[in-house]
Chain A
Amino acid sequence: MARFLTPRILGRALPVVACGVLFLVPMLTDDRYLFKVLTFVGLNVIVIAGLALLFGFAGQISLGHAAFVGIGAYTCGYLTAARGVPWIVAVIAGTVLAGVGGFLLAIPSLRLKGHYLAMATLGFNEIMSVLFVELRPVTGGNDGLRGIPFASIGAWKIDTPAGNYLLVWGVAVVVLLLTANIIRTRPGRAMRALHGSELGALASGVDTGRLKTEVFALSAGIAGLAGALYASSVGFISPSTFSLEFSVLLIAMVVIGGAGSLAGPVAACALLTLLPYADALIPGLSKELIALIQDWEADISGFVMILVLLFAPGGLAALGRRLGGTSARGAGGVQ
């Protein structure tokens, strides 16, 4: 029996099993808090799928992804709450606007690499953070935007925690399938080539400039989609959510999960998102320990990131591969 459980079969079966478990949860429990927490995990997973593509595979860092989430959230929130636009239209608008933002940011950033690209995208996040506060008529300023309606299609309203949970995870699964498909096929190969050696990619006929712009726009659009879903499932958004701190946490998730992997960053994303909610998920934790975790959340993820960079540069994905005995397929270059 055990010899059928090869890493290959496990690799195929694990996502299916995970999906099954995810969609069984609503049948097993009606704990609203649990749904809320797991909805946050799903939203972050969506963002991480796009960021893993951009940063983990194509090797282009973005310290501005929280801002793209914010663009999606404010667009959807404003359009549905203040303008009465149908939910699905608002979500599409949020996704497209964030994608256009990514496209516009990518054009001047094409010449930039490494630290300089990090600085440019960091600057973008800061600019957007200021705009989220100052564009008061649209964003509600520091008070945020309240009364954002739940998701609805026609007369059908998704207004229960379980409904939102299923909606977000449904989208997350679709986004994961889409990214996994991109990674497996020609554009994914070109991205890994770009990451490995830009000169080699150019010499092989890969239009790296166009590729970078497209991946940037796609990744930003996916972040915007998550933002739009966040706005309608939570009902209230405020600028502090989309700060640089969140961008850094997202990058940490990809690094801890492993560049050049999709499953690793998704796992890291789940773990780091659940960290502050440990009290709800692990019964019997002492109050002191929970308070400690919540107070030191950022420090814990930072510390884990340092440990990963020092001792397991390939992240969770590489650890998994080592256990499973399969070889890497990631990115990076022969120097």
Chain B
Amino acid sequence: MPDPVLQVRDLEAGYGHVSVLRGVSLDVAAGEIVTIIGSNGAGKSTLMKAITGFLHLTGGTVTLDGRAITGTAPEKLVRRGLALVPEGRMLFGPMSVAENLALGAHTRTSATEIAQDLERVQALFPVLAERAAQPAATLSGGEQQMLAIGRALMSRPHVLLLDEPSLGLAPKVIADIFGVLDGLRAEGLGILLVEQDANLALKHADRGYVMRTGHVVLTGTAEELANNDDVRLIYLGAWHGNE
């Protein structure tokens, strides 16, 4: 495996006195999709919040491009090249699609580069160009997810973190969005993906980590995980050999 762009070591975090992450380690390299699968309450979203600086860490380290970013505030991580597509998208509803995308480039100054990236994002998701003037709140769920991803890409990240991007979306839209993620990987972006839908995640990921109660209990290539009996039974819904 090439040098990881994102390196997480023995991460511990929680809410108040409740510890949720109990020593999680993982790597994401440039040009790979890494997925974290696990049931509700396994700590997947907490892990995303901890990596992106939204949660206070009680232990462990996070390294981005070889530099320690442990405990750095979320808005500063965006400048360093770490972008999060949050769960529930967190768009700016009454603001137009164009303004939401412009906010994604808030940390950047070069107008020409921003214009280039806008063109690129609109090429990835043409609907964002068609609806540029429309308030974000009036978009469909799938379009909103595309906008959330587009907004994150506008910061020109090295690593993109996505928290439940398929939640509540139609299969056709999910296929479109994951097609774009495949394309971004091919361009060299490192992608860390949290997904409830383990089938979908393992189909697109290169590698995966299985989390249970704040620990990584299993790791391997997507193929290995997809063929692992425990994973098949618990997360992929296989039962007595039925698929």
Contacts and interface: CB of A to CB of B under 8 A. Distances in A.
Bound together: yes
B75 interface: yes
Contacts of B76: 205, 207
B79 interface: yes
Given A190-B106, A193-B103, A203 B92 contact: no
B152 A334 contact: no
Contacts of B86: 199-200, 203
A189 B102 contact: yes
Interface residues of B, number: 33
B151 interface: yes
B155 A204 contact: yes
B79 A205 contact: yes
Contact of B107 (A196, A200, A205): A205
B92 A193 contact: yes
A203 B136 contact: no
B75 A208 contact: yes
Contacts of B78: 203-205
Contacts of A331: 92, 94-95
A327 interface: yes
B126 interface: no
A203 B147 CA distance: 14
Contact of B94 (A200, A207, A328): A328
Nearest to A198: B90
Contacts of B99: 189, 192
A332 B86 CA distance: 18
Contacts of A203: 52, 74, 78, 83-86, 90, 152
A229 B104 CA distance: 40
Interface string A189-225: 1101100110111111111100000000000000000
Contacts of A190: 103, 106
A204 B104 contact: yes
A332 B84 CA distance: 21
B212 interface: no
Given A327-B135, A334-B137, A204 B103 contact: yes
B56 to A, nearest CB: 14
Contacts of B93: 196, 332-334
A201 B136 CA distance: 14
A168 B104 CA distance: 39
A333 B92 contact: yes
Contact of A192 (B74, B75, B92, B144): B92
Nearest to A332: B94
B131 interface: no
B89 interface: yes
A186 B78 CA distance: 17
Interface string A297-335: 000000000000000000000000000000111111110
Nearest to A200: B90
B135 to A, nearest CB: 7
Given A190-B103, A206-B103, A196 B91 contact: yes
B54 interface: yes
Contact of B92 (A197, A207, A328): A197
Nearest to B108: A205
A199 B54 contact: yes
A199 B155 CA distance: 16
Contacts of B155: 204-205
Q: Which of the listed residues B76, B83, B94 has the most CB atoms from chain A within 10 Å of its own CB?
A: B94
Contacts of B91: 196-197, 200, 333-334
Given A189-B99, A334-B137, A199 B107 contact: no
Contacts of B137: 334
A205 B154 CA distance: 11
A79 B103 CA distance: 44
Interface string B88-120: 011111111001001110110000000000000
A200 B135 contact: no
A173 B224 CA distance: 68
Q: Which of the listed residues A200, A201, A207 has the most CB atoms from chain B within 10 Å of its own CB?
A: A200
B94 A186 contact: no
Contacts of B152: 203
A332 B135 CA distance: 11
Q: Which of the listed residues B86, B92, B102 has the most CB atoms from chain A within 10 Å of its own CB?
A: B92
A189 B103 contact: yes
Q: Which of the listed residues B52, B54, B75 has the most CB atoms from chain A within 10 Å of its own CB?
A: B75
Contacts of A77: none
21 contacts: A189-B95, A189-B99, A189-B102, A189-B103, A192-B99, A193-B103, A197-B90, A200-B90, A202-B54, A202-B73, A203-B83, A203-B84, A203-B90, A204-B75, A205-B106, A205-B155, A207-B75, A332-B93, A333-B92, A333-B94, A334-B93
Which 9 pairs from chain A and chain B are nearest by CB? A205-B78, A200-B90, A196-B92, A334-B93, A205-B107, A197-B90, A202-B74, A204-B103, A207-B75
